[in-house]
Amino acid sequence: MRYLLLVHIGPVQDFIASARRSRDLWFGSWLLSELSKAAAHAISEQEGAQESLIFPAPSDASLLKASSEFSATNRIVALIQQPPDTLADEVEKAVRLRLEAIRKGAFGQVSGPFNRGIAEAQVDDLLEFFWVAVPINGTPYAAARERAEALMAARKSTRAFGPATWGSNSPKSSLDGIRESVIPEGAYPSRREDEQRRQEKTEALYLQYGAGPAERLSGVDLLKRHGQRGQESRFPSTSHIASLPLLKGLSDVQGVQTLLDEYTDKLPQQVISQERIPKRFAHAIFGTLDGSLFFESRLSESLEGEQLREAARALNEFLASAANGKSPIPYYALLLADGDRMGQVIDAQSSSDEHRQLSAVLTEFAGKVQTIVEENYGGALVYAGGDDVLAFLPLHTAIDCAQTLADTFSEQMGVFRDRAGAPATFSAGIAVNHHLEPLSDALDFARQAEQKAKAVPGKNALAVGVIKRGGVPRMIAGKWDALGSSLKRLISFHRQDALPDGAAYQLRDVALRLGGEGIFRNNPTLQDAVRKESMRILSRKKAEHGARGLSDEVFKEMEALIMDMDQPIEQLADELIIARLFANAYDQAYGPLK
């Protein structure tokens, strides 16, 4: 008897929702991949053939070994011949052994005392392991897979919730609010203590636990903070990603190395040692310093009193000398993307061989993502598994990186079609967030952007959202060729000072005063009035801070955008506003565009 086996490893949302730092997210994603690889490896070992695996379908069995660069999704599909309950028990055992090994390695990195018994119980209770199997002898593969998917959906909705295996009166984790903290309360600074004692405890918390002065961490939180990905234990912060346009621009500044040394010499050593990035992200001048050192707001997280005042003065002196007093733009991009119609495309594969071929191509695409994101565009990849991508990107490379990923995906996956003949395409959401905003909020905004892209008819789309501190969220979406080229052109106009910033807000105000998109979309008279008023406003605008009128080239291109009946004026206004932020980042990285 042969069976089609589906395995689901979790939790996924728990890890994503409770990520406070970029490292939490990075390590949590890797942990799920490692557990999935352990499951896939156990299946191939038990079955005695790598070909038993359909998804994932690595080119070599060694890719499934622990800590390899290969990323696996949390769903495994395989054709097996052993009794599924016996095999599933062995697979779950292998997954739990891998989790135990990672947990031991992580807790071994914690140098301060903590409640190890509760921490271990919290981690052991973390794992979700679901499986279903369908007899496949005589049943068409596609029908068996459809049946297995229905069973998995039912299995996941009927989970058994047992009581917690630990008990504690400690405060709840400040990351997930569910599990109890395992760090002694006495390790945290108190307002009743003097400044020196509070500073000592703040430093010890970071060095021993990787925790901030107000962060209560559970065993799962410690796992994510201290777990090792091979030889790596660090990941760039959101502040570092936001600083990259400025660091790029400072690379060409005469004597910047001397100015940098003067600045870092004035910082306490514990600040220098704790703010580091992995060697693979090292900068030619700034080395492995994390860009958070160039934000005064980040210095206050680990320093206070006179130490903080001295560090802030040193930073301001550095920026005044090296960057003409300019601070790094405090925004970064979070890219969330995946393939369009992948369910329909997979359903169209009528045999296990066809499904395995599709899986192999997805694996090949995922293998290229890290090079594209990190080496080509200076970002930091969190996860690339199958068609899913999650990455941090600096503003001056985010749009080009997203476009390259979409092009690469289409090239790889274009041969696979759904039953209607439509190819697999790629849609992405880019969420621009402040580097100090909670990462959970940034992830929510990235999901909104991705959903906005997925809502574009026919998909194969890009959505870009910006949420500035104290401002309203703005979101634009469109096909890659239309929105991508339009954004790049508007960015160029801003960099040349060919359009005044106020034009965008006036265009938006006109559209809203005359009823807004929902009112006049189907009213040709109102649409015509809005577009004519928008052209009148544009004709009065001056470039170069009022020094001259708009050039003929700029005026004609803006006229074409305004008169485009498929694009609401509100979206054009938001495109202009969003383009300005990206233009500022381009200018920091490359200098003004002449």
Which has the minimum average pLDDT: 56-65, 117-126, 252-261? 56-65
Same domain, yes or no: 299 and 387: no
Query: Quick check: 96 pLDDT over 90?
Result: yes
pLDDT value of residue 10: 84
pLDDT digit string, tens, across residues 439-462: 888 999 999 999 999 999 999 999
Same domain, yes or no: 565 and 589: yes
pLDDT digit string, tens, across residues 412-435: 998 889 888 888 999 999 999 999
Residue 16 is part of a domain; what is its CATH number?
A: 3.30.70.2220
**Strand 380-385 to strand 388-393: parallel, antiparallel, or no bridges (unpaired)?**
antiparallel
Percent of the chain with pLDDT over 90: 46
DSSP 129: E
Other residues' Cβ atoms within 10 Å of the Cβ of residue 2:
17
Same domain, yes or no: 533 and 437: no
pLDDT value of residue 440: 85
Domain boundary among 283, 303, 322: 322
Host H or E run for residue 39: helix 22-47
User: Mean pLDDT across the stretch 578-594?
Assistant: 91
pLDDT value of residue 391: 96
The Cα 70–Cα 229 span in angstroms is 12
The Cα 407–Cα 423 span in angstroms is 13
pLDDT value of residue 574: 92
Residue 169 maps to a domain:
no
Range of the domain at 310: 238-322
Structural domain total, the chain: 5
Residue 349 maps to a domain:
yes
Percent of the chain with pLDDT over 70: 94
Q: How many CA atoms lie within 13 A of 268 on its CB side?
A: 19
**Strand 425-434 to strand 461-466: parallel, antiparallel, or no bridges (unpaired)?**
parallel
Q: Which of 485, 486, 487, 593 is nearest to 544 (CA)?
A: 593
Whole-model pTM: value is 0.89
Residue 337 maps to a domain:
yes
Same domain, yes or no: 250 and 316: yes
Domain boundary among 306, 322, 338: 322
Query: Quick check: 545 pLDDT over 70?
Result: no
Q: What φ, ψ does residue 10 adopt, rounded to 5°?
A: -145, -175
Taking CA atoms, 100 is separated from 122, 258, 530, in Å, by: 12, 47, 63
Residue 477 maps to a domain:
no
User: Mean pLDDT across the stretch 526-552?
Assistant: 78
pLDDT digit string, tens, across residues 335-382: 999 999 888 998 888 888 999 999 999 989 988 999 999 999 999 999
pLDDT digit string, tens, across residues 382-394: 999 888 999 999 9
Q: What φ, ψ does residue 232 adopt, rounded to 5°?
A: -100, 140
Domain boundary among 438, 472, 506: 472
Is the omega angle on the peptide bond into residue 56 within 30 degrees of 0, that is, cis?
A: yes
Query: Quick check: 302 pLDDT over 60?
Result: yes
Helix axes of 552-562 and 524-539: crossing angle, nearest 10 degrees: 160
Same domain, yes or no: 98 and 136: yes
pLDDT value of residue 521: 59
pLDDT digit string, tens, across residues 152-162: 999 988 866 66
pLDDT value of residue 377: 96
Other residues' Cβ atoms within 10 Å of the Cβ of residue 107:
19
Same domain, yes or no: 9 and 144: yes
Same domain, yes or no: 441 and 531: no
Same domain, yes or no: 501 and 575: yes
Q: How confident is the model at residue 14 (pLDDT cuts 50, 70, 90)?
A: low
State the sign of the Cα–Cα–Cα–Cα dihedral 91, 95, 100, 102. Answer: positive
Same domain, yes or no: 309 and 414: no
Q: Which of 388, 475, 476 is nearest to 426 (CA)?
A: 388
